[in-house]
Amino acid sequence: MKIKIWLSRIRNIFIGVVLGGLVLIILWNVITSQEVNFICNKIERDSAYSRWLVYSDNEIFEISNQWSQLRFNGRKVAQKIAAGRAYCARVQNVSLPLFNWYRNIMDVRSVDVMQALPTEAQQLIDSLRFELEKVKVQKDSLN
């Protein structure tokens, strides 16, 4: 009789731990998910860890299959990325380069290079375009 009670308690504890773990995994994925814009400098296959590494000016990302996110299309996502192009990507997890952990690219779409630049760079380019237009107008008025 006591054995049945203990087995019942152990079973309930096990079910609680498993369900709690699943809830924590889902919360972690939701909390760490965000969209980033970047320009890809290089993409390479890291066969030691079965992943692709995507290098940008500011950060290194990884593309890997993740069972915790029920995602198994890493190869398709990696095929969408080429060096020298700008992208908007949905990434998850945190980056800890010391431990060789990088944010994982979940989905990616190509964007205009201006959208991938930081706001300060966009403002600088816009001001340079304005100055160039002023110079063109001055040149035309001299002719």
Q: What are 89-143's pLDDT values in tens digits? A: 999 888 888 888 899 999 999 888 766 666 666 677 777 888 888 888 888 887 6
CATH topology of domain 33-111: OB fold (Dihydrolipoamide Acetyltransferase, E2P) (2.40.50)
Is pTM beyond 0.85? Reply is no
Q: How far is CA 132 from CA 20, 64, 65, 128, in A?
A: 60, 45, 47, 6
Please state which of the ranges 45-54, 58-67, 71-80, 111-120 shows the lowest mean pLDDT: 111-120
DSSP letters, 79-107, are HT--TT-EEEEEEES--BGGGTB-EEEEE
- Residue-level pLDDT at 1: 65
The set of residues, in sequence order, having a beta carbon less than 8 Å from that of 89 and lying 6+ positions away, is 35, 36, 37, 38, 61, 105, 106, 107, 108, 109
User: Across residues 13-38, what is the average pLDDT?
Assistant: 88
For the chain, the domains span 1-31, 33-111, 118-143
